[in-house]
C-alpha cells in the first residue's frame, strides 16, 4: 500500500505531504480544489509521459515521491534484483520522479537512478488506475474478452492455444515460401537452365582464372626467362670465378682460420650455408629451364580459356560468384524434384496443428460458455446491490468465419473460423436494465452512472483473484447520487478488504464509507495559489460530510445526517 506521498512544485502544489492507510481512503474537496492532481502525480510517478507543464511556475523541477509497503510481493523483489536495485528496507519501496522545467525526467528506486520502464513495470504489479477513460474502454466490445478472461482465468489453455497458433503460423509461412519458390522456379526454369548450360560448357574451376593468368605471363616471357636463368646459372656455377667456386675457396680459408681462433667458426658456417644455397639455386635454375614448356599452341589455348572464363565473369560477376550461381541453380533444380513431397508434408503438419488448435479452442470456448453463466449471475447480484435491481447481463459469444483458403483458421462443425491469440471466440457484453426488455450491447443502453457501477461490479468480482494491491478511482461515482451512492459505497468498502483504495469522490454517501478521509483545498497567499491536504479526524470527518450534504451553511440536521452516514458504514 501507499503509506506516504510527497509532491513538490507540481502544478499548483508547492509542497504537499499526505499519509494513506489500508482500506478505503477517500479524497474529498470542492470542485477545482486539486483532488485530481494527487491522482495525476501518481500516474506520472508510475511512468506516464512527463511535460514541463507539470512544473510549478517559477520552479526548476517537480518532485513526486512515494513510500510504498509492498508486503513481501515476490514479483517486485525479482524485478528489482534483475535491474540491480538494492532491496535493503524490508517490505518498503521508495519511488521518486523528478521532472525538470525543460521536460526531461530522472527516476529513482530506493535512491538508485533507474529507467522509466522500470517504474512502469513496478506500477503494473502494484497499482490500478480507474477513471472516465476506463468507463469508455468498458463500452468497447473488443475489450470485453480480456476483461472476462481476467476474471475467469484460462491461462493454461490460452498458453497452449498461443503456442499451437504460433507453430501453425510458422508452418504456414514455410508453406507459402515453398510454394512461391516453386512458382518462381517454374517461371524462371528456362532462363536458369540456359545459364547453367552456359556455365557448364566452360566448366570453370575455383581460382582457375588467376592460375591461368600467372601461367600465361610465364609462357609469354619464356625466351627472356631462359636467357636470364642461363646467365644466373653461369654466374653461380660455370666458371672458376663463379659464385660457387669463390664461396668454396673462402669457406676453406675460414675453416683454417677457425683452427687459430674460434671467432671465425660462426662466419665459416654461414659461408658454408651460402655455398649450399648457391648449389640449390643452380639446380633449381637447370630444373626450371628443363620443365619450361614453351609452346605457342599452349599460349593460344590459355588465352582462349581465359577469354571464355572472363566472358562468364562479365555476365555473372567474379569467378567465385559464377561458381556460386552454378551451385545454387543445381540446388534449386534438385529441390524442385522434392517440391511435391515437401508441400504434401507441410500440409500434413498444418492440418495436424489445425486439428490440435481446434480441440484446444473448443475447450476454451466451452469453458467460457460455462463461466459466462456464473459470471453473469455474480454481476447481476452486484448490480442489484448497487441499485440496478432488474439488470439482466449476458455474455454473448460469437465466431467469425474465415475467408476461403485461410489456413490460419480452425474447422469446427463443417465451418472454418478465424483464430485470435486467445482462442476463436468474439465476446460482447449485453445488458438490459429494465425488466422484460431484451439485452442489447452495453454501449447502446448503459448510462454514465450505470457504466460506473458495472465497472465497479467487475472489479468487485475480480477482487479475490486480482493480485494488484492498490486501486485508484478518480470519480467513479459520476452519474449517481443519494441511495444509489450509498450502495456503491458499500461495494467499494467491501472491495477495500482486498485492496488499498484511493477514491476521489464528491458524494457524501461514499465519503462516509471511508476508513480514512483526506481533504484537499486551495489557499491563496502572496498572490499565489497553493494546494494543501489534511488527514481528517473523526470530528472533522463529520464536519466535512455535513458540508457536502448542506453546503457551506452547516445545520444540526446536516451534522446528524453525517453521523448517521458514518455510523452506517462501520
H-assigned helices in 74-154 = 74-82, 116-126, 132-139, 144-151
> CA 194 from chain center: how many Å?
48
Position 445 pLDDT exceeds 80: no
Position 357 pLDDT exceeds 90: yes
> CA 134 from chain center: how many Å?
24
CATH code matching the domain that covers 1-131+470-536, chosen among 3.60.21.10, 3.40.50.300, 2.30.30.60, 3.40.47.10: 3.40.50.300
| Mean of pLDDT values over 252-262 | 89
**What is the predicted pLDDT for the residue at 30?**
86
Confidence of residue 17 (pLDDT cuts 50, 70, 90): very high
Q: Three-state SS for 154?
A: coil
Most confident of 175-184, 281-290, 385-394, 424-433: 424-433
Look-up of cell digits 651460402: 274
Q: In sequence order, what are the residues at sequence separation of 6 or more whose Cβ sits closer than 8 angstroms to the Cβ of residue 189? A: 336
Confidence of residue 132 (pLDDT cuts 50, 70, 90): low
Q: What is the full DSSP assignment across 507-530?
A: -HHHHTT-SEEEEEEEEEETTEEE
As a whole number of angstroms, the distance between CA 242 and CA 285 comes to 15
As a whole number of angstroms, the distance between CA 124 and CA 176 comes to 39
What are 544-561's pLDDT values in tens digits? 999 988 877 788 888 899
Most confident of 121-130, 353-362, 385-394: 353-362
Q: In sequence order, what are the residues at sequence separation of 6 or more whose Cβ sits closer than 8 angstroms to the Cβ of residue 487? A: 385, 386, 387
**What is the predicted pLDDT for the residue at 217?**
86
**What is the predicted pLDDT for the residue at 353?**
96
Confidence of residue 146 (pLDDT cuts 50, 70, 90): confident
H-assigned helices in 439-555 = 442-445, 448-462, 482-495, 508-511, 538-550
> CA 242 from chain center: how many Å?
81
**Which H or E run contains 99?**
strand 92-100
Closest listed residue to residue 355, CA positions, set 394, 318, 409, 396: 409
Question: Which has more pLDDT, 539 or 129?
Answer: 539
Strand partners for 535: 518
pTM over 0.85: no
Closest listed residue to residue 500, CA positions, set 457, 475, 471, 468: 471
Tell me the average pLDDT of the chain: 88
**What is the predicted pLDDT for the residue at 186?**
80
What are 471-488's pLDDT values in tens digits? 998 877 777 778 888 888
| Mean of pLDDT values over 363-383 | 93
Give percent of the chain with pLDDT exceeding 90. Answer: 42
- Cell numbers representing residue 56 in the block: 510549478
Contact 158, 422 (CB under 8 A): yes
Q: In sequence order, what are the residues at sequence separation of 6 or more whose Cβ sits closer than 8 angstroms to the Cβ of residue 126? A: 46, 68, 70, 73, 76, 468, 469, 470
As a whole number of angstroms, the distance between CA 104 and CA 446 comes to 41
Q: Three-state SS for 486?
A: helix
**What is the predicted pLDDT for the residue at 436?**
83
Give percent of the chain with pLDDT exceeding 70. Answer: 96
Burial class (CB in 10 A: 0-12, 13-18, 19+), 210: exposed
As a whole number of angstroms, the distance between CA 371 and CA 46 comes to 34
Phi-psi region of 71 (alpha: psi -120 to 50; beta: other; left: phi over 0): left
| Mean of pLDDT values over 16-30 | 92
**What is the predicted pLDDT for the residue at 282?**
87
| Mean of pLDDT values over 455-463 | 83
Closest listed residue to residue 545, CA positions, set 154, 555, 358: 555
What are 47-97's pLDDT values in tens digits? 888 888 889 988 999 999 999 988 766 678 888 888 888 765 567 889 999
Look at the alpha carbons of 138, 141, 147, 148 in this order and tell me if their dihedral is positive or negative.
Answer: positive
Question: Which has more pLDDT, 361 or 405?
Answer: 361
As a whole number of angstroms, the distance between CA 428 and CA 394 comes to 8
- Return the C-alpha torsion angle 153, 159, 164, 167, nearest 10: 150
DSSP 8-state symbol, 55: B
Look-up of cell digits 475447450: 363
**What is the predicted pLDDT for the residue at 11?**
87
| Mean of pLDDT values over 338-344 | 87
Contact 289, 226 (CB under 8 A): yes
For residues 491-513, b (16+ Cβ closer than 10 Å) or e, as one string? bbbebbebbbbbbbbbbbbbbbb
**Which H or E run contains 197?**
helix 155-202
As a whole number of angstroms, the distance between CA 518 and CA 533 comes to 7
Name the packing angle between helices 538-550 and 556-569 (round to 10°).
120
**What is the predicted pLDDT for the residue at 135?**
64
**What is the predicted pLDDT for the residue at 173?**
96
Question: Any idea where the domains of the chain sit in the sequence?
Answer: 1-131+470-536, 203-336
What are 192-234's pLDDT values in tens digits? 888 888 999 999 999 999 999 988 888 888 888 888 888 888 8
Amino acid at each position: 500500500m501507499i503509506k506516504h506521498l510527497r509532491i513538490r512544485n507540481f502544478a499548483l502544489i508547492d509542497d504537499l505531504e499526505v499519509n494513506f492507510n489500508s482500506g478505503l481512503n477517500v479524497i474529498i474537496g470542492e470542485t477545482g480544489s486539486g483532488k485530481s492532481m494527487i491522482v495525476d502525480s501518481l500516474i506520472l510517478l508510475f511512468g506516464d509521459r512527463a511535460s514541463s507543464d507539470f512544473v510549478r511556475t517559477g520552479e526548476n523541477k517537480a518532485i513526486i515521491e512515494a513510500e510504498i509497503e509492498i508486503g513481501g510481493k515476490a514479483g517486485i523483489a525479482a524485478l528489482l534484483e534483475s535491474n540491480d536495485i538494492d532491496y535493503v528496507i524490508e517490505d518498503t519501496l521508495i519511488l521518486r520522479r523528478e521532472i525538470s522545467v525543460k521536460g526531461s525526467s530522472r527516476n529513482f528506486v530506493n535512491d538508485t537512478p533507474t529507467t522509466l520502464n522500470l517504474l512502469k513495470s513496478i506500477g503494473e504489479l502494484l497499482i490500478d488506475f480507474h477513471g472516465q477513460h476506463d468507463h469508455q474502454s468498458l463500452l468497447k466490445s473488443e475489450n470485453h474478452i480480456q476483461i472476462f478472461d481476467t476474471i475467469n482465468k484460462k491461462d493454461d489453455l490460452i498458453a497452449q492455444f498461443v503456442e499451437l497458433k504460433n507453430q501453425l503460423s510458422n508452418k504456414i509461412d514455410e508453406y507459402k515460401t515453398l510454394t512461391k519458390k516453386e512458382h518462381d522456379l517454374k517461371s524462371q526454369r528456362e532462363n536458369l537452365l540456359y545459364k547453367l548450360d552456359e556455365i557448364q560448357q566452360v566448366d570453370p574451376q575455383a581460382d582457375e582464372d588467376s592460375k591461368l593468368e600467372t601461367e600465361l605471363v610465364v609462357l609469354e616471357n619464356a625466351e627472356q626467362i631462359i636467357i636470364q636463368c642461363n646467365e644466373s646459372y653461369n654466374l653461380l656455377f660455370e666458371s672458376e670465378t663463379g659464385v660457387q667456386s669463390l664461396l668454396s675457396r673462402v669457406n676453406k680459408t675460414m675453416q683454417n682460420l677457425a683452427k687459430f681462433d674460434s671467432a671465425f667458426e660462426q662466419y665459416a658456417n654461414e659461408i658454408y650455408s651460402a655455398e649450399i644455397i648457391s648449389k640449390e639455386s643452380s639446380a633449381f635454375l637447370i630444373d626450371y629451364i628443363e620443365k619450361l614448356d614453351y609452346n605457342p599452341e599452349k599460349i593460344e589455348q590459355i588465352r582462349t580459356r581465359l577469354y571464355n572464363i572472363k566472358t562468364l565473369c562479365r555476365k555473372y560477376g567474379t569467378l567465385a560468384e559464377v561458381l556460386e550461381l552454378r551451385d545454387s541453380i543445381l540446388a534449386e533444380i534438385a529441390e524442385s524434384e522434392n517440391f511435391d513431397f515437401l508441400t504434401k508434408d507441410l500440409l500434413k503438419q498444418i492440418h495436424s496443428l489445425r486439428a490440435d488448435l481446434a480441440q484446444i479452442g473448443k475447450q476454451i470456448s466451452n469453458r467460457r460458455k460455462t463461466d459466462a453463466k456464473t459470471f453473469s449471475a455474480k454481476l447481476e447480484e452486484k448490480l442489484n446491490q448497487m441499485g440496478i435491481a432488474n439488470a439482466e447481463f449476458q455474455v454473448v459469444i460469437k465466431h467469425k468465419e474465415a475467408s476461403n483458403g485461410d489456413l490460419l483458421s480452425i474447422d469446427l462443425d463443417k465451418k472454418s473460423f478465424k483464430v485470435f491469440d486467445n482462442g476463436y471466440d468474439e465476446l460482447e457484453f449485453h445488458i438490459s436494465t429494465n425488466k422484460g426488455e431484451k439485452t442489447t450491447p452495453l454501449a447502446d443502453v448503459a448510462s454514465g452512472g450505470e457504466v460506473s457501477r458495472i465497472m465497479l461490479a467487475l472489479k468487485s468480482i475480480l477482487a479475490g483473484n486480482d493480485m494488484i494491491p492498490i486501486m485508484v478511482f478518480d470519480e467513479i461515482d459520476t452519474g449517481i447520487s443519494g441511495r444509489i451512492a450509498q450502495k456503491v459505497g458499500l461495494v467499494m468498502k467491501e472491495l477495500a478488504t482486498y485492496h488499498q483504495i484511493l477514491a476521489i469522490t464528491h458524494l457524501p454517501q461514499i465519503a462516509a464509507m471511508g476508513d480514512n478521509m483526506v481533504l484537499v483545498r486551495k489557499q491563496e497567499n502572496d498572490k499565489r495559489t497553493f494546494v494543501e491536504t489534511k488527514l481528517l479526524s473523526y470530528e472533522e470527518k463529520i464536519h466535512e460530510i455535513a458540508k457536502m450534504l448542506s453546503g457551506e451553511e452547516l445545520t444540526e440536521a446536516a451534522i446528524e445526517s453525517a453521523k448517521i452516514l458514518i455510523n452506517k458504514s462501520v
